[in-house]
Amino acid sequence: MDLLNAIVALANFVIVPATAYGAQLALGALGVTLIYGVLRFSNLAHGEMMAFGTMLTILVTWGLQGMGVSLGPLPTALLALPFGILGTMLLVLAVDRSVFRFYRQVKAAPVIFLIASMGVMFVLNGVVRLIIGVDERIFVDGARFLISAREFKQMTGLNEGLAIRTTQVITLVTAVVTVAALFWFLNKTRTGKSMRAFSDNEDLALLSGVNPEKVVTITWLIVAALATIAGTLYGLDKSFKPFVYLQILLPIFASAIVGGLGNPIGAIAGGFVIAFSEVTVTYAFKKVAGYLLPEAWEPDSLVQLLSTDYKFAVSFVILVIVLLFRPTGLFKGKAV
Amino acid sequence: MKKLLAATAVTALTAGTAFAGGHAEEIKLGVILGFTGPIESLTPQMASGAELAMAEVTESGALLGGAKVTPVRADSTCIDAGAATAAAERLITGDGVKGIMGADCSGVTGAILANVAVANGVVMISPSATSPALSTAEDNGLFFRTAPSDARQGVVMAEILLEQGIKEVAVTYTNNDYGKGLADSFEAAYTERGGKVTINAAHEDGKADYSAEVGALASAGGDRLVVAGYVDQGGSGVVRAAIDSGAFDTFHFPDGMISDVLESRFGSEIDGSTGQHPGTDSPGAAKFAEIVGDAFDASSPFTPESYDAAALIMLAMQAAGSSDPAVYKDHVLHVANAPGEPIYPGELAKALKIIAEGGDVDYVGGTAVELIGPGESAGNYRQIEMKGGEISTVQYR
């Protein structure tokens, strides 16, 4: 019984939240890594693209809610998501045509791209705040819980409750579907193969007749979709606040780099590594230890490695360690 | 040289007009509150409260031979000391205010006091800064507050919880002067009276997700979670995460958490939770509600305190016979405390008249003002409970 209680406590506060968070980071990191693989620069505006996509989705969600459309137990935002993706695609293409294409034509160094993307970040940052404001927006509707802590306790008779929110399940399912579709596209379709060829060796790909502008356009379209999905899932599961998307840019980049920049599998692994370490290192294991250890050994302290204030620092420590010992990331990516 | 001459000329001219207006002067008072930021849902009512007192005095025509009092609003942001200092600097040097009703949050209040008010010798009366640290701040006798120090709120909070038989609590506080000061004074008072604080952990405002923080709080355990935070900010996030994960069912809320937002966000989900915020059942509170009418919500936290803060500044001016902060600062305690005729909200005209005739007043106002120690309210609290999704009054203490 004690063992079960310990497992449930751990699942409730570590495993379930970290898995959902990991899926959100993985989707974000995939977008960063694709841009790095194909266009060869770190796109700092990615967080704001997520915010922009989420904002569009929220606006459409409000519209749908106003018309009385709903998905029953599922959030209406899922219905609005395609519109958000379309809008973000248009925005991202416009940005590419007006900013990044110029630097591609003059064959600018990656650091110039990086700085240009920072400029794009600031502009998008302002646009999002102008349109939707700086306040917190909660746009989730439908059933809140798949199973709530109280129901779980009644069902099992355990001391510990396990709450699984609908949004956490949706996050995971959507992430799996999206990743599966992306890998099918990259590995099986002609366009996907030409993207990988372009990423591996630009000159050889050009010689074999790959159209570079087409590859770039497709990449941006995929990235826009990924960014909107990741942003909306994060906003659904937590809450939407423009400032937050600037903050999660850090763990997203950490995920992409830890996994190996330019390597999609690495991005997913990196997302989960970062999410689990953030949550585990800052979790207080007192309760779990209390269930597992004999009474005499029960700890008085919280058994917490780091205060939760240092959550974001964890990603950086992992980043530094990985870069010191494996500069190309856990999976073989490109050296930064 | 030319510039210097021009500047001197301008100064001389403005000084001249100031003298000329001496008889029925226009007195500007700063109202510096966080109109944006973590307590932005409270500040509009607070400002309206202060401005109501100013309108009342102007209308009476009894202050310093018919002076007109005009409010000048500025945004303290509640959290950004740099922005707040700049705003206060502008009020004093640009608008030439003779006193400041504000600021609101403890951190920015301390910053404005140290950097602007003391440097320029301007009186500040804060309606809501409650950090114990401000009791000992270097103020040259310029700083007062109509809100009690949190050292007092900590004691009241500990008493409420222990009376309900709650012996073990977890505490989380917003990581600033207000949160830390309150959490520490509560822990001291609670432990001294035999309670146990299992964890006293900070949370940062403005995050999207507080599940990690709640994980630590839940692990430490406790019968109730004390949330010394802001309802428009991380405080609500922590409560939401705690309810969702089933970590805590009931909470205890100090003043920063008690507002309509709490009802609308959580409703009956937090039934059985308790809390307290400065408030009183003295006849002053009812009179204040009466003169406010439907203009704004008179029971919103710190609203009567704001009215009282502005009233005290103007009564002290009358007692000193001058709107010069260096002169009237010594009269604030005098008009606030006994002996004298008790003055309730809506009676400012009467008070001004008594003072003008050489009499004594004891300003009671909307919050039973009694300034103690270094010029801060002795403190009355309204104890509340969440019942059927609404905040209801249990008692006053």
Q: How far apart are CA A247 and CA B254, in angstroms?
A: 29
Cross-strand pairs, B227: B172
Chain B hits for A309, CB-CB cut-off 8 Å, are 175, 202, 204
Cross-strand pairs, A284: A304
Question: What's the whole-model pTM score?
Answer: 0.75
> A332 in a domain, yes or no?
no
Query: Do the first three CATH levels of B26-149+282-377 and B151-277+380-396 match, i.e. the same topology?
Result: yes
> A335 in a domain, yes or no?
no
CB of B172 closer than 8 Å to CB of B240: no
Contact B218 A13 (CB under 8 A): yes
Instruction: Identify the pLDDT of residue B49.
Output: 95
> A223 in a domain, yes or no?
yes
Contact A308 B221 (CB under 8 A): no
Of B202, B208, B211, the CB nearest to A241: B208
Other residues' Cβ atoms within 10 Å of the Cβ of residue A296: 5
Instruction: Identify the pLDDT of residue B7.
Output: 53
pLDDT at A1 over 80: no
> A331 in a domain, yes or no?
no
Contact A13 B208 (CB under 8 A): no
Chain A hits for B199, CB-CB cut-off 8 Å, are 284, 302
Find, among B223, B217, B221, B251, the residue nearest to B236 by Cα: B251
Our count of domains for chain A comes to 1
Give the phi and the psi of residue A191 in degrees, each rounded to 5: -65, -40
Instruction: Identify the pLDDT of residue B13.
Output: 46
Determine which of A241, A304, A308 to mutate to test the interface with B (most B C-beta atoms within 10 Å): A308
Instruction: Identify the pLDDT of residue B390.
Output: 87
pLDDT at A211 over 50: yes
Instruction: Identify the pLDDT of residue A47.
Output: 95
Q: How far apart are CA B51 and CA B170, in angstroms?
A: 40
Instruction: Identify the pLDDT of residue B397.
Output: 82
DSSP structure class, residue B345 = T
Estimate the crossing angle of helix A311-325 against helix A249-259, to 10 degrees: 20
Q: How far apart are CA B273 and CA B372, in angstroms?
A: 31
**pLDDT tens-digit map of A289-327:** 888 888 777 777 777 777 777 877 888 888 888 889 888
Residues A251-272: b if buried by 16+ CB within 10 A, e if exposed: bbbbbbbbbbbbbbbbbbbbbb
Q: CATH number of the domain that A276 lies in? A: 1.10.3470
Chain A hits for B175, CB-CB cut-off 8 Å, are 309
CATH of B151-277+380-396, one of 3.40.50.620, 3.30.710.10, 3.40.50.2300, 3.30.70.270: 3.40.50.2300
**Mean pLDDT, 10 residues at a time, chain B of 397 residues:** 53 46 76 89 92 94 92 93 95 94 92 94 93 89 91 90 93 90 92 92 85 86 92 89 89 90 87 88 88 89 93 95 93 90 93 92 90 85 89 87
* Of the listed ranges A112-116, A238-242, B4-8, the one predicted with least confidence: B4-8
Instruction: Identify the pLDDT of residue B22.
Output: 44
Instruction: Identify the pLDDT of residue B21.
Output: 43
Chain A hits for B237, CB-CB cut-off 8 Å, are 239
Q: How far apart are CA B245 and CA B249, in angstroms?
A: 10
Chain A hits for B213, CB-CB cut-off 8 Å, are 308
Of B213, B220, B245, the CB nearest to A12: B245
> A123 in a domain, yes or no?
yes
Report CA Rg, chain B.
Answer: 22
- Cα A314 to chain centroid, rounded: 17
Contact B215 A279 (CB under 8 A): yes
Domain containing A168 equals: 2-325
Residues of A with CB under 8 A from a CB of B: 9, 12-14, 17, 21, 144-145, 148-150, 152-153, 161, 163, 165, 234-235, 237-241, 243-244, 247, 278-279, 282-288, 302, 304, 307-309, 311
Of B208, B213, B244, the CB nearest to A308: B213
Q: How far apart are CA A334 and CA A316, in angstroms?
A: 19
Report the gap between the CA of B77 and the closest CA in chain A (Å). 14
Let me know if A167 is exposed, middle or buried by CB neighbors in 10 A (0-12, 13-18, 19+).
Answer: buried
Looking at residues A210-218, what average pLDDT do you find?
Answer: 91
Residue identified by tokens 């704004």 is: B296
ipTM topping 0.90 = no
Instruction: Identify the pLDDT of residue B25.
Output: 81
> A333 in a domain, yes or no?
no
CA B328, B329, B330, B331 torsion-angle sign:
positive
Of B201, B202, B245, the CB nearest to A149: B245
Q: Is the domain defined by B26-149+282-377 classed in CATH 3.40.50.2300?
A: yes
Chain A hits for B270, CB-CB cut-off 8 Å, are none
CA end-to-end span of chain A: 49
The residue extents of the domains of chain B are 26-149+282-377, 151-277+380-396
Name the residue type at position A203: D
Report the gap between the CA of B233 and the closest CA in chain A (Å). 9
